[in-house]
Amino acid sequence: MNQIILSELIPRSVINVDKPTGMSSNDVVVEIKKIFDLKRCGHTGTLDRNVTGVLIVALEDATKIMPVLMGLDKEYEGIMYLHKDIELEKLKETISKKFIGKIIQTPPVKSHVARKPRQRKVYSFDILGKNEKNVKFKTKVESGTYIRKLCSDIGKELGTGAQMKELRRTKVGHFLIEESHSLDEIKKAYETWKNGIETLLREVLMPIEKAIPHVKKVYVKDDTISYILNGAPVKSLEIIKMDKKIRENEMVGIFSSNDKLIAIGISKDDSEEMINKKNKSVIKIDRVF
């Protein structure tokens, strides 16, 4: 894709923000809106005030891709404080037997969802170090898993009690903490752009096309784009090429021949069926860009 001028790129971008401690996720969104002088802005997953790390913020038109960014797996590093010291081996054994794989978790009191038991998946929970009652850990979990509650449940299972002392989100899907930007860096990048230097801001902004590599792609003929932008469904004969193994009712990205995202749609059939449908509509348009 040809390089887009920055004034056009900003409203079609997301930013990987390194959220600082002491700010809510909404505080960060307000600050981003202020820096860029935007009307619309949103984040894709709340972090507590005292938790730092990866927070994905979508700007203007890019807020339309938020639904496909919200269910991504998360990774964290933190410190769990045990109310009573125990042997490292017992701690590892308890976590391995009770807290890896599918678990049942009731959201904490301060959460914004119904406090009903629900199933979540913990892919890993590794102990990085232990200093008496302080346990440094790294964990990868399914979206919607509460780490504070996970620490509390581990303490309850051990019979010692435990609480989350520190937490940093290091990864959301393909978004890495190493590639995140502080609010000061983002502000500096914007100000240097206003002074004629683009380099820093191009490093901060991630175009929506690059923000959704996990979303399967469907490429359509350029002469059909105007119809799609008006909400017309995609027909099989309008498709140039598409990713394999698209499932029925799966959200897909609809792209032009020059790799520009023009819409998000919902597949009516799997990819094999789409090919065989001749000229029938195979993708319903959900939102356009």
Residues contacting residue 58 through CB under 8 Å, at least 6 positions apart: 13, 14, 41, 42, 43, 44, 65, 66, 69
CB 79 within 8 A of CB 222: no
Running DSSP on this structure, what letter comes out for residue 4?
P
- In the three-class reduction of DSSP (H, G, I as helix; E, B as strand; rest coil), residue 55 is classed as strand
**48 an active-site residue?**
yes
Instruction: State the first-to-last Cα distance of the chain, in angstroms, to the nearest integer.
Output: 16
Rounded distance, CA 236 to CA 99, Å? 45
DSSP 3-state percent helix, strand, coil across the chain (nearest 5): 30, 35, 35
Rounded distance, CA 151 to CA 166, Å? 11
Please enumerate, as own/partner, the contacts of 65-69 that have beta carbons within 8 Å and a separation of 24 or more: 65/14, 65/208, 65/211, 65/212, 65/261, 65/264, 66/42, 67/251, 67/264, 68/212, 68/214, 68/215, 68/251, 68/264, 69/14, 69/44, 69/172, 69/173, 69/211, 69/212
Q: Which of 18, 27, 37, 48 is catalytic?
A: 48
Q: Is 100 buried (19+), middle (13-18) or exposed (0-12) by CB count in 10 A?
A: middle
Would you name the residues annotated as active-site residues? 48
